[in-house]
Each structure stands twice: as structure tokens, then as C-alpha cells.
Structure 1
Amino acid sequence: MADYIDLNGEGRSFGDAEAQAEVRDNDRQYVFHSWSAQGKINPLPVAKGEGVRFWDYDGNEYLDFSSQLVNLNLGHQHPGLVKAIQDQAGRLATIQPSMANDARGELAKRIVEHSFEGARSVFFTNGGADANEYAIRMARHHTGRQKVLARYRSYHGSTATAITMTGDPRRWTNGVIDANIVHFFGPYQYRSEFYSETPEQETERALEHLEHTIQLEGPNTIAAIILETITGTNGVLVPTPGYLAGVRELCDKYGIMMICDEVMVGFGRVGEWFAYQAFDITPDLVTFAKGVNSGYVPLGGVVISEAIHDTFVERPFPGGLTYSGHPLACAAGIATFDIFEEEGILERVRDLGERVIAPRLAEFAEKHPSVGEFRGRGLFWALELVLDRETREPLVPFNAAGDAAAPMNAVVAACKDAGLSPFVHFNRLQIAPPLIVSEEDLVKALDIMDEALTVADGYYTGE
């Protein structure tokens, strides 16, 4: 029996040096990789994926605990998603967005029905960055204003306005592409910008800072505030109590649209269809991608409120995409809803997060001095690794590279050597497995992390 199937549909065995060499050569000769110095990378050739695992060409097996880029919510090669795409391709592979399509309409209906009260329609995009771009465009046309407030410690995509809104270092070298973006600080109790001593104090002071920013920028100039409901790559920062409700109140007070970026945390990642539902708020616009169909075919979109939808009833919306609501992508999205119900995905995410992950991470914090803090919910968590708990100095400096990043690189290497592909950013070891993960595999991955944390402990300099 073949270990994997190659590009030509032929069965191959792991350890095929010729096949691996061809994949590596084609990649290095012809593929231009994102966020990379092309001459300094050596991408891992992947031969096969199944469930929560993938294999390289040598047959090394990895537990995929980053869900690739936190998009593979239903895992590799889920038969329900694969069949939905195959069936749709067999009857209608594609159709332009100006025509009505059954798969597109059905998926939009399901998304609206599972979203916020007052949601009216969905504009489909090809991914998360353009979903955020179009949400901003809608807010600007709806309000007649141009400024947008976005948080530091955020990522919203790499297209023009999206990368300008992004608050992490990936923005720096791209310049100011959209001059109407203003950044502000959100709550981050562990590294408070506001010298807060409690989560409640952090909420109060963060909201005061936001309102001051609104007032100093001019409320009548601000179209929207965009925020990741739970900050993703930049730390799995769960909002402090009352913060999101407070942002909603400020938006209502000043006539500003509230946009929840759910590209990473939507579709079950934290045990809700959308993460904002865990905080009892109603946004004006919601962006999504990734988990809507686990990235099997590129798809994103914007959930639009009745009021914003009505802005474009008599006047045209100035925007569109050739592949908006692509039938193959939408078919996989419909299947996602079916699978979530059939497999009880939301319930199991909440259960595993509360019963397995949270107590185990509490054990890590007791056992490993390098664990400064852990936080998260559902199947989305972060371990903040430090050199000193008292000073909270991070294990590696902010935006570390080269030798400065060596301690985190060592932790990552320990995970990979034990068969775990982790999600890492700066000084954080993050947890984001496919939502179909078994309890057995979850425990196995946590055991590997436990051992890898002893590597981080070796760098600890505190008392």
C-alpha cells in the first residue's frame, strides 16, 4: 500500500529521495514565499495530511497544532469537505458572482442565521485580508467618514489598508499605505500599558484611553473601530471583563461602526460560531475566512448589518471580486455547518478547553518557571514564556531574529523533534489544533509541550 499519492496520482513510499528532491528543487527554483528572505529559508516538503497529522517525504509524522495557519479547523482531508467539493465540481465548477448560485446563497443564509441579531447579508471575498478591506470600505461609505481606529498587537492582513491597520512589526516596512488609520492600545493585563493591577482596572483604563483617542482624532472623522475579538497571532489576548461591551458603547455614542475581525477565531475556534457571541455584543460588521471551510478552497467574507446593507439598496456598492462566493468554496462552507452539527464540534471544543487544556496549562505554570502566564479559551491558548517571572522579561526580545531568537527556536526544535508542529510567535508558545482533535492526541501534544518547556526553563534567569 502506498504511503502517499503524488502529483500524477501515483502511489509512492516514504523515503523516496528522488521525489523529495524534485519537490524541494521546484520550490526553491520557482516559488516566492511570503514574509521571507528567499535565500534564507528551507521549506519542509509535506507529502500527506490526514486529520490532525501531516507527514514529510521521509515519513516523519507531526501533530499539526497550528492548524497550518489557524485555518484547518476540521483537519486535513476531512471526507465531508472533500466530497462536497468533488460533488460541486461535478455539477457546476464555477459561476460569476453577479449570477445567483444555490451554494452561495445557502451558505450566506446559514452564516446570517448563525451570526448577530440584525445581520442582513454576506459579501463574499477570497480570504481574510480582503474581507477586512471591504468591511472598511463599507463602513466608510455608510458613515461618510474616513478614519479607522485599529489596535497595536493585531494582524488584519497584508493588503493595503489591512497591513496599515495591522499593529505588529509586519506593518513597519510596508509604510503608511492608508493615511487614515490610527492605532491605539487594547487591554493586555499581563503587560499593561495602563499600570493596571486588576482586569477590571485594565478594562476601565483601556476604554478611557480609547475614548481619549476618539476625542483627539475627532469623532466625526472616524468611520470604524476594527478589532480582533480575541487577538490571534499577537498573543491570544482574551478581552478583559466588559471591554468589548465598552467599545460597543463608545461606538454607539459617537456613531462609529464596530467591526469584529473573526478571521482567526470564527467558526468554532473558541467554542462559539463567532467569538463575539461569548461576550454578548452586537457588532455592525463581522469579517471571517479560515475556519469557514478550513481553507480547502479560498473563501472569506463580511457579515453586514441591516443598516449598512440598506445603504446600498439604491446606490451601487463600489467593489467586487471575480471569485466572490466561488461555488467550490461555498460547497465546502455548507459542509462545514453540517459537520459541526453532526460531530458536535462546538460542544467538544468547549469541553476540551475547560476540562483538558486549562488545568494542564495551570500545571505547566506551577512546574515550569519559564511560564509567566497562560490564557485562552476553547482550542485557542497561549503560554507566555519569560526569563524572569518577577520582571516579566520575555524569553526572547520583541520581534527577535537571528541569535536573539535562539531560546524560542530551541523550544520549537524540541517540539518538532518529538513530532509536534507548534504555533509560535515571539515569546509565546500557542495552542491551536484542529477542532476535531481527539482527547488522546491533545494529551499527547501537551505532554510534548511539557517536555519542551524544560528547554525554556534552561534559559530562565530569575530567582
Structure 2
Amino acid sequence: MTTQPSAPQLPAPDPAEGRRVFAEDRAHLFHSWAAQGAVNPIPVAGAAGRHFWDYEGKRYLDFSSQFINLNIGHAHPKVVAAIKEQADRICMIASTFANDKRGEAARLITELAPGDLNHVFFTNGGADANEHAVRMARMHTGRPKVLSTYRSYHGGTATAISLTGDPRRWANERSGSATGNIAHFFGPYLYRSHFHATTEAEESARALAHLAEVIEFEGPATIAAILLETVVGTAGILVPPPGYLAGVRALCDTYGIVFIADEVMSGFGRAGEWFAVDHWGVTPDLITFAKGVNSGYVPLGGVIVSDAIHETFREVVYPGGLTYSGHPLACAAAVATITAMKEEGIVENAARIGEDVLGPGLRELAERHPSIGEVRGLGVFWAVELVRNRETREMLVPYAAGAGQTGPVDEVVAGCKERGMWPVYNFNRIHLVPPCTITDDEARQGLEILDAALDAADKYVD
């Protein structure tokens, strides 16, 4: 299927160079989402396919896709070649000019999008895509307010972090960095239902009733948009139950609210479809994207815009833009990525891996490990929720766990890394999000490593 090597040859170890790279990082870099004194990064010497390695010669199977964005894997030769070719022609041209790769990337993206989402506004990443989607919705409706869920992450810029529900919002609110006209609500999460539901149908119906009530109490005429991660990512990999997204679409239609689907993480194959909304046949008014559109080889994001919202700005100036909007190198990488994903059946591979390997394999692990409360996901987008007690569903570590509270999960993660697999984790969950190009054998290898590492969690079970 893929043109990438499954087991790349590693160069000779060079520990001295690794120490130099580490020292320079710690001397001069300011790291995101971190207390600077606690930062201890592994110097990475190289990467290819589904692996990266350090200067000591240790190789890691990448079950994180870095920031859940490396959908096409490390160093895909077709994408690398496209960037080199574009660099030889035009490295940079302002967005006021037409550029072949910029236009081609926009066309390819809109051809993949559902319904009448026929226009693309390019940004540099996911956070500013959500910023601009909200700005478009507010101008389109003439309303100020936006609703989003508590279990969500939409980015680190001012509006995006305000829309975020997870605890990273709190410090920004304390510092005065957050913005107003945001209201949060509870989305569906059957395993920890806020609505006392016992089935997916009950959870969907009751979550929609709750949202309808929030709309009523916030005032429909004040609400510009509802912003949802189609599949909630960092906050739990929460797959919406049947009927939920269609119900949100219906509520938005009833009240003239713009429906924004945040597909920054779930788009471009991650959920086993080009866009996760395709699983439920729902067409939003705006889709935000980034990450997998070109696997971050060169930063790129954007908003896919419906005809109706595009029409709002036909005679009215849209008050926003970015110097690097539609950067030629980034767009060339996007064209090559989408083309390679089509040619190599990469989206189909992600769907099959989830259906045939990761899903069944994780459910088998749940039968053996009492610390696993729930397994959920689709495509190459999976979460293992760890608990101290399956009956009470007490989290292995508490929500918003801080320093000194995350030890049990830290042990599992350390066990994975020691055995050569790099996962994602958040509070009491381990996320398994490998590149969409992963092979069956690599997926099984990752599951075997997780299986061994979970013994550390089992010892905390009541």
C-alpha cells in the first residue's frame, strides 16, 4: 500500500550530538504547555514511516502521530519531493496572487468536503482556523455568542482557548487572556453520562434536549455558532452516538445558528473517512482543518466555507487574513498528501486497521486488564479509559490531575516508551493514534507493548 519503509535503517548512534542538541534546546527554547524547569525533551535524530529515533539509537513506534497530525507518516517520499520541487519554483508568494498549488489544494479539499462547502480560507494551523470560522459566523449572523462543549480542545489562541472546555482554559481565564461571549454545554459521553442514559439512543436524545435547553436559556437570537469537534479528540476520543450530529444540525437550522465542525484532529483519514462527519452524513456550514491535510510537513490549516457564508462576503470585506495564508510550500505538501492518500488507499487503510486490528485488539486487552474501563474509537483514533474500579468507574487518576497525581498513568506511559512505543495520554486515558499508513504488524506490535505496560495500571485496581 505505502511507499514508505516499514523498518528504516538507523544511522550510527551519536550520543555526543544528542547531548549538544539537548543543551541548546534547554538553553534557548521556551516550551509550550509546560513549566520550563520541568522540560526534559528527547533529542530526535530522525524519522521515517511510523518510527522515529534518538541519538542513542533507540527507535520508537509512533502511536502519537506526534501531535495527532502525522496522518501520512514520517518523511513520505512523495510529499518530501513535492516540497523540494515547489521550493525550486516559488518558496513564497503573497495570498493576493493566484498560485497553482494554492488553487489546486483548495479544489482538492472542497472536492472531499460534503455538500456545498466549496471555498477554502487558508490559515497556518487549527487554532487560527477556529478563530476565523468564529469570526465568519459572527459576521454572517450578526450575533456575538458561540457555544462549545466542556470536553473539547480548539486551540491555544484567545478565542480558541476560550472555546476550549478542558482545563487548559482555566489559566488563560485567570490571566485575562480569554475572550467573552462563549458558553459551554455537555456533549454526549455515554460511559460517564451526565443524563443518566443507559443506551446510545438515550444519550443522544438527552444530550440534544440539554443543548436545546442551553440554547433557550442563552437566547437563540444571541448565538452565532455551535462549534463541535466531530469526534472529540484530546478530551477523550468521544465518538458521537447515532443521531446526535443530525440533531445538532436540526437545532442550528431551526434557530439560524452556524454549525462549525472542528475537524482539525479528526479530518483527513484519522477517523477512517476523509472527514469524520462523513460517518454520519451531516453537512456543517463551516469545517475547520489542519494537521492531517499535509501531516504538518509545512504548517497549514483552514476553513472550508459553505456557499451561503461565502455569499455574505461577496460585497462585504472579510476583516481578516494572514501573511502566510495558503503558503506555496504548505499547499504543495497538501496536494501531494491528498494525492498520495488517494493513490495508496491510506484512508481506507485507516478504516480497516481500526475495524480489523486496533478495535478488536483493544477489546481483547480490556478482557485481560481490570484497569480498562472502556475502549472507544474508530479508524486510527482510539482511547483506553483507565479506572480503579469498573463498578464505580473511578478514574485511575482524577480529572484535571496535576503534579503528583498522575503517577499510575505515568507508569503505563513509561512502560510503553521503554518498550519502544510512543503513545498519547491525558489524565486517565491512553490514546492510540498512529499514522493512517500503519501496517497490521506494526499495529499489533503497538498493542503487545501496551498489553505489557498495562500491568502497571492493574496493580492500582480495587
Q: TM-score range by the shorter chain?
A: over 0.9
SS in 1 for 2:254: helix
Post-superposition CA distance 1:56-76 (Å, at most 9, x none): 110111001000000001111
What 5-or-longer segments of structure 2 have no aligned partner? 1-9
Report the counterpart of residue 7 of structure 1 in structure 2.
none
Report the counterpart of residue 142 of structure 1 in structure 2.
140
Report the counterpart of residue 185 of structure 1 in structure 2.
186
**How many Å apart are 1:120 and its aligned residue?**
2.1
> Percent of aligned positions with the same letter in both sequences?
58
SS in 2 for 1:403: coil
Report the counterpart of residue 6 of structure 1 in structure 2.
none
The correspondence of residues 258-269 of structure 1 with structure 2, limited to 5 A, is 258-269=259-270
CA RMSD, 1 decimal: 1.0
Report the counterpart of residue 222 of structure 1 in structure 2.
223
Q: TM-score, normalised by structure 2?
A: 0.96
Give the one of 149, 152, 157 matched to 1:151.
149
Q: Which runs of 4+ in 1 moved over 6 A?
A: none
Separation of aligned partners in 2, 1:402 and 1:314 = 53
Post-superposition CA distance 1:270-319 (Å, at most 9, x none): 11110001111010000000000000000000000000000000111000
**How many Å apart are 1:148 and its aligned residue?**
0.1
Report the counterpart of residue 5 of structure 1 in structure 2.
none
**How many Å apart are 1:454 and its aligned residue?**
1.3
Q: TM-score, normalised by structure 1?
A: 0.96
1:369 equivalent to 2:367? Answer: no
SS in 2 for 1:409: helix
Give the one of 17, 23, 47 matched to 2:45.
47
**How many Å apart are 1:18 and its aligned residue?**
2.4
Separation of aligned partners in 2, 1:143 and 1:419 = 50
The correspondence of residues 294-305 of structure 1 with structure 2, limited to 5 A, is 294-305=295-306
Post-superposition CA distance 1:126-181 (Å, at most 9, x none): 00000000000000000000100010010000001000000000000101622100
**How many Å apart are 1:14 and its aligned residue?**
4.1
What 5-or-longer segments of structure 1 have no aligned partner? 1-11
Report the counterpart of residue 103 of structure 1 in structure 2.
101
Give the one of 52, 72, 75 matched to 1:74.
72
**How many Å apart are 1:402 and its aligned residue?**
2.5
SS in 1 for 2:224: strand
1:18 equivalent to 2:21? Answer: no
Separation of aligned partners in 2, 1:13 and 1:235 = 37
SS in 2 for 1:408: helix
Separation of aligned partners in 1, 2:359 and 2:49 = 23
Separation of aligned partners in 2, 1:197 and 1:301 = 38
Report the counterpart of residue 323 of structure 2 in structure 1.
322
SS in 1 for 2:391: coil
Report the counterpart of residue 8 of structure 1 in structure 2.
none
1:120 equivalent to 2:118? Answer: yes
**How many Å apart are 1:455 and its aligned residue?**
1.2
**How many Å apart are 1:266 and its aligned residue?**
0.3
Separation of aligned partners in 1, 2:159 and 2:134 = 8
2:329 is aligned with what amino acid?
L
Separation of aligned partners in 1, 2:191 and 2:281 = 24
Separation of aligned partners in 1, 2:45 and 2:460 = 35
Post-superposition CA distance 1:376-435 (Å, at most 9, x none): 001111010000000000111112122211000000010001000011111111110011
1:114 is aligned with what amino acid?
L
Give the one of 128, 131, 135 matched to 1:130.
128
Separation of aligned partners in 2, 1:35 and 1:104 = 32
Separation of aligned partners in 2, 1:343 and 1:87 = 21
SS in 2 for 1:49: strand
SS in 2 for 1:282: coil
2:80 is aligned with what amino acid?
V
Report the counterpart of residue 91 of structure 1 in structure 2.
89
Report the counterpart of residue 351 of structure 1 in structure 2.
352
Separation of aligned partners in 2, 1:16 and 1:319 = 47
Separation of aligned partners in 1, 2:56 and 2:96 = 47
**How many Å apart are 1:21 and its aligned residue?**
1.7
Post-superposition CA distance 1:24-72 (Å, at most 9, x none): 1110010000000001111111001111000011011100100000000
Separation of aligned partners in 1, 2:285 and 2:11 = 52
Separation of aligned partners in 1, 2:317 and 2:404 = 53
Report the counterpart of residue 207 of structure 2 in structure 1.
206
The correspondence of residues 378-457 of structure 1 with structure 2, limited to 5 A, is 378-457=379-458
Give the one of 23, 30, 33 matched to 2:31.
33
Separation of aligned partners in 2, 1:250 and 1:272 = 25
Report the counterpart of residue 3 of structure 2 in structure 1.
none
1:109 is aligned with what amino acid?
R
Moved more, 315-324 or 395-404: 395-404
Separation of aligned partners in 2, 1:256 and 1:378 = 30
1:238 is aligned with what amino acid?
V
Separation of aligned partners in 2, 1:249 and 1:34 = 38
Separation of aligned partners in 1, 2:97 and 2:452 = 55
Separation of aligned partners in 2, 1:155 and 1:347 = 27
Separation of aligned partners in 2, 1:120 and 1:13 = 46
1:363 is aligned with what amino acid?
E
